[in-house]
Copies of this chain bind each other. A is one copy, B any other.
Amino acid sequence: MKGSLCAVVMAGGRGTRFWPASTRGRPKQFIDLVGGGTMLQMTVSRLSGLCGLDRVLIVTGAGFADEVFGQIPGLPVSNLLLEPMPMNTSACIGWAARVAADRWGPDTVMAVMPSDHLISPASGFVDTIARAVEPARQGWLVTVGVRPDRAATGYGYIKPGDLLDGFHPVEAFVEKPRPEVAQAFLEAGSHFWNAGIFVWRASAILGAISEHLPGLSDGLERLGTDTSADPVVYGSLPAISIDYGIMERSSRVAMVEAGFAWDDIGDWPALRRSGACRGEVISLDSSDCTVWNPDSLTVMLGVSGISVVRAGGVILVMADDYAQKLRDVVGRIEQQHPELV
């Protein structure tokens, strides 16, 4: 397997949903959210069974170069792609595909993934990507589907067709469903979560971009294969997600089932699903709480459904209902306390 593959790690998130642990200067992918390394470090570490660091491309914001090199020693300087501004996943992936094709040939197989998801075990991840390589070689755009264990409404769903030679042609993508639809999916076992992990030939995704997003294709042509993008050209690319722009439109999309536990840990309450915790906690008659306080003891008495976070000299105490609104709240806090956000 090693040597035949390259990987693209998307580390462009600006997320403030993990404030105050994450800030604009240090987004989620760069912090040690669950213990055992930053999300980026864990993501890159998982790739070691698939390819060497010389074949790992990391795409991030222009201001984070030092952070990435500090966290991933040994990453070749030429493997960091610096976005002048975030332009959504189609642009980021298209650019990386052109760089990969230029460096390792148009038929190189790329594994594309976010940098801030929780995945275990690493061996299951390696196995899954390995299973996706053959259909990718055949020209399929392969996505990884995770079997739901709850009626989540925050994810996109995949409806796979019958198993065909180790993978499933995809019948349909379903946008974030209503609760009753998610419940029906769960009970039927008919749909999988779209984990945002893709495997394909560089030439295949570039061909699909050319077909479905010709404007992006032209822009990428102008952008070239430098690892620092011209801000004017990059900023003019259409900002569209790879799911909406390509996956939902292409007829040659396949799914492999994930052989690993997956969580995108999208907000503070999600952290407790993984059982992850930072700092010592004494809890009495408390349930469904997230505590993230790496530096000291937290005592929880008789509370439930809240998150308690201490970082950067700020304590956040938040009811679960507010987890998805935290981004907006942080925007308001920024007005008063720009130094804290």
A residues in contact (CB < 8 Å) with B:
20, 282, 284-285, 293, 295-303, 306, 308, 310, 313-319, 321-322, 325-326, 329, 333, 336-337, 340
Asked whether, in the complex, the Cβ of B306 is within 8 Å of the Cβ of A303, the reply is: yes
| Cβ A316 vs Cβ B299 within 8 A | yes
Q: How far is the CB of A295 from chain B (nearest CB, A)?
A: 8
Ranked 4 nearest A-B pairs via Cβ: A302-B319, A301-B318, A301-B322, A302-B322
In the complex, the answer to whether B297 meets A313 with C-beta atoms within 8 Å is yes
A320 → B minimal CB distance (Å)? 8
The CA of A321 and the CA of B301, in the complex, are separated in Å by 9
**Nearest CB on B from A63, distance (A):** 25
Contact A333 B302 (CB under 8 A): no
- Indicate if the CB atoms of A313 and B333 lie closer than 8 Å: no
Tell me if B297 and A317 are in contact (CB < 8 A): no
B336 touches A317 (CB 8 A): no
Query: Could you tell me the distance between the alpha carbons of A329 and B322 in the complex, rounded to whole angstroms?
Result: 29
Give A299 to B340 CA distance when docked, in angstroms: 12
Q: Are B306 and A293 in contact (CB under 8 A)?
A: no
* Identity of the chain B residue whose Cβ is nearest the Cβ of A309 in the assembled complex: B299
Given contacts A301-B329, A336-B282, contact A317 B310 (CB under 8 A): no
Contacts of A297 in B (CB 8 A): 313-315, 337, 340
**Additional A-B contacts beyond A297-B313, A303-B318, A308-B308 (20; CB < 8 A):** A20-B299, A282-B333, A284-B322, A284-B329, A295-B313, A298-B314, A298-B315, A298-B316, A298-B317, A299-B317, A299-B333, A301-B316, A301-B322, A301-B325, A302-B318, A302-B319, A302-B322, A303-B319, A308-B317, A317-B317
